[in-house]
């Protein structure tokens, strides 16, 4: 397994791409409500990335993906395809995954949204704990950390909260390529895996399921659902390893500063 070390110039472009992706998630929040279609959300995100950011939506056309963002509802783990006739309903949970390309460099992030005001407590708790799993992983990042320790900590956190951590999909290196080495699993064995060094960039994106970690892919060859159709939640950030810790390149204003701001 190899990885690329980014230069100061590369990192600055990734900061811009990351901020654009983060701003897209902030922008779309007010539009996530009952009665809106995921197709409408996709169009709003597309127009924001192309017209406001003057950037490129990385998902559109990637390996044939037909839309500009992924919209994953309830038991959809990831890679949900927006549809013009898929209407959001009160109490659903929704992940929107946005990746922006700016001058050839990628920024990748996702966020969970609750649709309406009447979400059931188990769904709300899953959303919260999935975010905490992401923050736990981010807080560990520093030079010398081995990825097996990161994955182990996230999976143990999931188990302690009576969830499973998805194993079929993982975080990934990112830069001029959408997906590059290393693979960042959300399970692992302590003391194993690649050792982090300054200049590495990758995503952490734990997917926590209420039931089994086993997933299956629908006939569209994209949409991933939980095998038992229980709820799933995911949060994602793009991370830079710094000489003393980490920087979250897709940080959104209002997040927990002590966990996700540059160190």
Q: How far is CA 246 from CA 58, 60, 63, 205, in A?
A: 24, 29, 31, 16
Looking at the domain assignment, is residue 67 inside a domain?
yes
Looking at the domain assignment, is residue 94 inside a domain?
yes
Query: In CATH, what number is assigned to the domain containing residue 225?
Result: 3.90.230.10
CA-CA distance, 174 to 105, in Å (whole number)? Answer: 8
CA-CA distance, 142 to 50, in Å (whole number)? Answer: 34
CB atoms within 10 A of CB 250: 29
Looking at the domain assignment, is residue 151 inside a domain?
yes
Within 8 A by CB and 6+ apart from 80, the residues are 38, 70, 71, 72, 73, 95, 222, 223
CA-CA distance, 203 to 261, in Å (whole number)? Answer: 15
CA-CA distance, 49 to 98, in Å (whole number)? Answer: 10
Give the pLDDT confidence score for residue 261 in this predicted structure.
47
User: What is the arithmetic mean of pLDDT over 98-110?
Assistant: 98
Into how many domains does the chain fold?
Answer: 1
Q: Over the stretch 182-221, which tens digit does the pLDDT of each residue have?
A: 999 999 999 999 999 999 999 999 999 999 999 999 999 9
Looking at the domain assignment, is residue 40 inside a domain?
yes
Looking at the domain assignment, is residue 261 inside a domain?
no
CA-CA distance, 253 to 22, in Å (whole number)? Answer: 9
Whether the predicted pLDDT of 2 surpasses 70: no
CA-CA distance, 181 to 183, in Å (whole number)? Answer: 6
H-helix segments, 31-184: 38-47, 121-140, 147-160
Whether the predicted pLDDT of 260 surpasses 70: no
pTM: 0.95
Whether the predicted pLDDT of 256 surpasses 90: no
Give the pLDDT confidence score for residue 263 in this predicted structure.
41
User: Domain range spanning residue 100?
Assistant: 8-249
- What is the widest separation between alpha-carbon atoms in the chain? 48
**Exposed (0-12), middle (13-18) or buried (19+): which is 111, by Cβ within 10 Å?**
buried
Give the pLDDT confidence score for residue 137 in this predicted structure.
96
Looking at the domain assignment, is residue 254 inside a domain?
no
Looking at the domain assignment, is residue 127 inside a domain?
yes
Looking at the domain assignment, is residue 259 inside a domain?
no
Whether the predicted pLDDT of 37 surpasses 80: yes
User: Can you list the positions of beta strands (E) in 142-236?
Assistant: 164-165, 171-173, 180-184, 201-204, 207-209, 215-217, 224-226, 232-234
């Amino acid at each position: 397994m190899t990885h690329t070390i980014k230069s100061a110039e590369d990192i600055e472009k990734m900061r811009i791409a990351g901020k654009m992706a983060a701003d897209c998630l902030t922008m779309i929040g007010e539009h996530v409500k009952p009665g809106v279609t995921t197709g409408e959300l996709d169009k709003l995100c597309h127009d924001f990335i192309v017209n406001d950011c003057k950037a490129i939506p990385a998902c559109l056309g990637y390996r044939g993906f037909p839309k500009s963002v992924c919209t994953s509802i309830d038991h959809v783990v990831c890679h949900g395809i927006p549809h013009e006739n898929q209407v959001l309903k009160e109490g659903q949970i929704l992940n929107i995954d946005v990746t922006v390309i700016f001058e050839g460099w990628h920024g990748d992030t996702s966020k969970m949204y609750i649709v309406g005001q009447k979400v059931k407590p188990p769904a709300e708790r899953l959303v919260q704990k999935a975010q905490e799993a992401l923050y736990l992983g981010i807080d560990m990042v520093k030079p010398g950390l081995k990825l097996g320790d990161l994955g182990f900590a996230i999976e143990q956190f999931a188990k302690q909260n009576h969830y499973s951590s998805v194993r079929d999909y993982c975080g990934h290196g990112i830069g001029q390529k959408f997906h590059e080495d290393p693979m960042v699993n959300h399970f692992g064995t302590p003391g194993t895996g690649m050792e982090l060094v300054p200049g590495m960039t990758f995503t952490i994106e734990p997917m926590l399921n209420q039931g089994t970690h086993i997933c299956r892919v629908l006939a569209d060859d994209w949409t991933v659902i939980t095998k038992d159709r229980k709820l799933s939640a995911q949060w994602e950030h793009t991370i830079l390893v710094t000489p003393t810790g980490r920087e979250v390149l897709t940080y959104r204003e209002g997040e927990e500063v002590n966990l996700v701001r540059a160190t």
